[in-house]
Amino acid sequence: MDQIGTGTVSEIIKESKDKDCEAQIDVLGETAVMLRRQGLNINFFARSIRLKLMLDEIGLNDEQLEDFVVHLNVHCFKRGLTPDAFMNVVSNISFLSDNLAIPVEQLPRYIT
């Protein structure tokens, strides 16, 4: 049976870590180049990461958010609203729901 010394194992681990670190540095460099080519900066990238973390926290994925944005655009276009105006309406409905202590999904029962 081959014996591997402690020093050999440590060296293998060190090499592996060095390769992982190099790979991560390469990815970061490629990401920086991609951002620059798109006319974006690191702040945009940081906001994207924060948004991804928020989505993860509430249990949504990128695809669900993209679908929502598409539906939002279609809805706003059909009604002649800007997405910003629509978001203000949603905020107002949310405040109304809170003030009346009626869940948003139950508001239609009280309106009709």
Mean pLDDT across the chain, nearest whole number? 83
First and final C-alpha spacing in the chain? 82
The pLDDT of residue 14 = 60
The pLDDT of residue 66 = 93
Enumerate the domain spans of the chain: 1-60, 61-112
The structure's pTM equals 0.57
Q: Any long-range contacts for 87-95 (C-beta under 8 Å, 24+ apart)?
A: none
For the four alpha carbons of 47, 53, 56 and 58, in that order, the dihedral sign comes to: negative
Length of the chain: 112
Per-residue pLDDT tens over the stretch 39-53:
887 788 788 889 999
Per-residue pLDDT tens over the stretch 69-102:
999 999 999 999 999 999 999 999 999 999 999 9
Cα–Cα distance for residue pair 71/12, rounded to 1 Å: 52
Q: Can you say how many angstroms the Cα of residue 13 is from the centroid of all Cα atoms in its chain? A: 33
In the predicted structure, residue 5 carries a pLDDT above the cut 80:
no
